[in-house]
């Protein structure tokens, strides 16, 4: 009887690692490699606390001379999501996304007032946002606004974004259907050891 109890206890505690680890966010390298451009969403809403975790990850990105020349517009209103889908040819999946984050670059706040640094810093934030969405089991993708002048104007108009602020992208965020898969893009020929040639 005691032996049976021992075996049961032993087997049940063996399951502990699974339950403890499974609740955790997956490791960083797995998330980097599992991140994919998710274009198919279930239509479910995204929890506000998840959006906050994602925004927090965005703001953890590095910026030139720590200027943080960015802002984030979070769109969950169906009318606005649909309006964005109309003006952005590659963002039609907004119709099933629960939310969209518009990463805005602010040249006036960047190091040296530089548009280049504002774009670069906001791009680092955007990559963190894409990774954080994947980490939470959500899906996301970068749909480009900048550098297209017409799209910049259209997104500014829909979301009341000031003239001196550049909407860099619209990142639809939602619950993935599971059909989008990551790509393997590792190419040895893109690495130069030592010097270019």
The answer to whether 100 touches 170, Cβ cutoff 8 Å, is yes
Instruction: Return the residues of window 89-108 that contact a copy of itself according to CB under 8 A.
Output: none
Q: Compute the least distance from the CB of residue 87 to a copy of itself, in Å.
A: 15
22 touching a copy of itself, by CB under 8 A: no
Q: Cβ(171)–Cβ(141) under 8 Å?
A: yes
Strand partners, 144: 169
User: Which residue in 84, 110, 131, 145 binds a copy of itself (CB under 8 A)?
Assistant: 131
- Kindly state the tokens that stand for 19: 């339950």
Q: In 3-state terms, what secondary structure has residue 126?
A: helix
Residues in contact with a copy of itself, shown as a per-residue x/- string from 37 to 56 under the rule CB under 8 A: x---------------x-xx
Extract the tokens encoding 82. Answer: 């649909």
Which of the stretches 8-16, 39-47, 172-180 binds a copy of itself when contact is defined by CB under 8 A?
Answer: 8-16
Q: Is the dihedral of CA 110, 170, 186, 182 positive or negative?
A: positive
114 is an interface residue for a copy of itself by CB under 8 A:
yes
| Integer angstrom CA distances of residue 106 from 116, 145, 162, 188 | 10, 15, 10, 36
Give the interface segment with a copy of itself, choosing from 39-47, 141-149, 172-180 (CB under 8 A): 141-149
> Of these, 32, 96, 153, 177, which contacts a copy of itself (CB under 8 A)?
32
Q: Out of 110, 152, 161, 173, point to the residue binding a copy of itself (CB under 8 A).
A: 161
**Interface with a copy of itself by CB under 8 A: which range of 39-47, 59-67, 172-180?**
59-67
* Structure tokens that stand for 142 in this block: 């970068």
Stretch that binds a copy of itself, among 39-47, 76-84, 173-181 (CB under 8 A): 76-84
Query: Is 131:55 a contact under the CB 8 Å cutoff?
Result: no
């Amino acid at each position: 009887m005691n032996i049976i109890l021992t075996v049961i206890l032993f087997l049940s505690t063996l399951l502990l690692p699974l339950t403890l680890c499974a609740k955790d966010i997956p490791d960083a390298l797995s998330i980097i490699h599992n991140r994919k451009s998710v274009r198919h969403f279930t239509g479910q809403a995204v929890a506000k606390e998840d959006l906050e975790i994602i925004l927090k990850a965005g703001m953890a990105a590095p910026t030139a001379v720590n200027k943080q020349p960015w802002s984030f517009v979070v769109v969950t209103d169906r009318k606005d999501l649909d309006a964005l889908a109309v003006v952005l040819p590659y963002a039609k999946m907004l119709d099933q996304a629960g939310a969209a984050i518009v990463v805005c670059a602010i040249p006036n706040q960047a190091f040296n007032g530089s548009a280049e640094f504002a774009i670069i810093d906001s791009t680092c934030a955007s990559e963190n946002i894409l990774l954080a969405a994947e980490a939470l089991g959500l899906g996301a993708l970068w749909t480009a606004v900048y550098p297209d002048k017409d799209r910049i104007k259209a997104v500014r108009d829909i979301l009341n974004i000031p003239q001196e602020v550049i909407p860099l992208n619209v990142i639809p965020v939602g619950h993935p259907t599971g059909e989008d898969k990551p790509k393997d893009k590792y190419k040895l020929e893109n690495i130069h050891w030592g010097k270019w040639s």
